[in-house]
Structure 1
Amino acid sequence: MDEYFVYIDEAGDEGFGKLRSSNSGGQSNWLLLGAAVVSKENDRLLPRWRDDIMAMFPQKGRRDLHFKNLKHEQKVAACRHLSGKPVGACVICSDKTTIPDLSPEALAVYKSRGHLYNYLVRLLLERVSLACVERSERSGRKCKVHVTFSKRGGTDYAVMRDYLYLMRDGREKLPPARSIRWDVLNPEDIKVEDHANRAGLQIADLITSATYAGLELNPYGDTEPRYAALLSRRYLRTPRIKGTGITIIPKASLTKPEVRSLFDILI
């Protein structure tokens, strides 16, 4: 049986108070949830991969990798290094600027604590579990998926598990278009750990933050899609779900200039 390890981190925030613009501060326009996916064999190598990246920046004086703390040239080097490693990347990207356009009822739901985050969890686990199953099926084997989240302040992981149980047990009011592969993933096995304690979570941070930089406008109104472009070979692809590696929600946001610029580089 194949075993896969999935490490999950986020970039951006879940708030809807005042969204950031090029001439004023505020909360992020995008919330991303991303995963690093490796086989059991390569899971053992993650600390070495992380250490090799940090060894390029000895002046950092610390062992844990935080993408946001790197300079531009260091981010480029880190992404280039990771691009050659056998790790799958999957990122769900929510354009928060579209949510205030919803009906008052729908807006109230999305503004409730944890709702948007848990919805992204659902989409992410649908994609990574399917990608793992498809990879093992090509070799005629079954698989098991292990999931670890980076510990996030303000997230109620008990509520998240209840949401996963609700989906697994078929108690949703509306049948979903697709489902998490519950035959390979058990909600009871999901772990939550500190970023600093697991190299896999630090690699997930790199993947998610690199993608975020290609979507979130900086204070000068620009994005930096180069990091994601360097990782383009790492984004997952499956024939059953278009855009498995990078999913933009809602689809209407695909027309935004910054999103088009990112995908022009990736394609």
Structure 2
Amino acid sequence: MVVRYVAYIDEAGDEGFGKLAGAGPTAQSSWFAIGALLVTKEDDRHLPMWRDEIMDQFPKKKTRDLHFQLLKHEQRVQACLMLAQKPIGACLVASNKVTLLTHPKREIFKQKQYLYNYLTRYLLERLTAACRKKAALEHDDQAHLTVVFSRRRGTDYHVMREYLELMRDGRELMRPVRSINWSVLDPSDIAVENHSNKAGLQLADVFTSAVWNALEPNGYGFCEQRYGRILTPRLLKQMGQRLHCGLTLIPPFGKTPLNDEQEEFVEFVRRFKEEGRGPPAPGAHR
């Protein structure tokens, strides 16, 4: 038997680092993140209902299209609280773009879509490992993952599929330490949909934007940890640890510069324990 999962992927921030935050009103974000909402195939059919339950909390909203950035603070908190109660797994990979300014390969990272593909690779490594582990532990079965990306302007998903096929076929010049589990994911099982067409993408937007806000300073230099803390129990984990699995920083924690608020949030994730926090999320490892 094959246990089937679906991951919905969205991003927060932007890829550019020529004019980072603090350089004026047109500055780029300091962090770029790609996040995923992971559910079983059985729960996938419940996502429109879960999205509608959240939207019902905002009766003045005229559409069923959920956008985190368009919500007020108190609405964001409510959306995170409701999402945290659902049987989901969640994973986010975030690049501290300030470190790219002095990176020896910064010219490579400036290439169109390179950083997006780079972070996607990290994300898929963690998602496929979680699915494989969950299926083996609970069902003694194989796992299969379908991935749905939120369509973004300027991204060539054909190029991404070719990049994944190159990795799958072992044609890289330098082999990575970790790898996507190709028994779980086939590059052909990648879809691209508009945000408004898929409730899963809208919920992935809530998760990704929520955790990104815990890392990205706002216009006054403050980070908003509350959203990310609420959703921390849903982060995937490995060997009991969510950091480096459900939340991955690049460069890693301890090597990437963080302000006090950012470090406080990452430490919260690192030290988080499951006791009294509800059932573990799909794909979570003990």
Q: CA deviation at 1:255?
A: 4.5
| Structure 2 partner of 1:223 | 223
| Structure 1 partner of 2:129 | 130
Q: TM-score, normalised by structure 2?
A: 0.89
CA distance in 2, matches of 1:87, 1:180: 21
Q: CA deviation at 1:257?
A: 2.5
Q: TM-score, normalised by structure 1?
A: 0.96
Q: How many residues end up aligned between the 2 structures? A: 265
CA distance in 2, matches of 1:234, 1:44: 19
| Structure 2 partner of 1:14 | 15
**Residues 15 and 254 of structure 1, relative CA distance in 2, 3 Å threshold:** closer
Q: Is the 8 A contact 2:5 2:143 kept in 1?
A: yes
Q: CA deviation at 1:240?
A: 9.6
1:85-138 CA distances to partner (integer Å, 9 max, x unpaired)? 0010100000000001112xx111000001100000100000000001000010
Correspondence list, 1:1-267, <5 A: 1-21=2-22, 24-103=25-104, 106-139=105-138, 140-239=140-239, 243-251=244-252, 252-253=255-256, 255-266=258-269, 267=271
**SS in structure 2 opposite 1:113?**
coil
Query: Structure 1: where are the runs of 5+ without partners?
Result: none
> What amino acid is aligned across from residue 9 of structure 1 in structure 2?
D
CA distance in 1, matches of 2:179, 2:93: 16
Q: Identity rate of aligned residues, in percent?
A: 48
Please give the root-mean-square deviation of Cα atoms over the aligned residues, in Å.
Answer: 1.5
**Residues 114 and 23 of structure 1, relative CA distance in 2, 3 Å threshold:** closer
Q: CA deviation at 1:21?
A: 1.5
Which structure's residues are more often helix, by fraction?
A: 1
**SS in structure 2 opposite 1:59?**
coil
Q: Is the 8 A contact 1:22 1:220 kept in 2?
A: no
Q: Is the 8 A contact 1:90 1:124 kept in 2?
A: yes
Q: CA deviation at 1:23?
A: 6.4
1:16-63 CA distances to partner (integer Å, 9 max, x unpaired)? 221111865401110000000000111011000000000000101110
CA distance in 1, matches of 2:53, 2:96: 34
**SS in structure 1 opposite 2:60?**
helix
Q: Is the 8 A contact 2:30 2:97 kept in 1?
A: yes
Query: Structure 2: where are the runs of 5+ without partners?
Result: 272-286
Q: CA deviation at 1:243?
A: 2.1
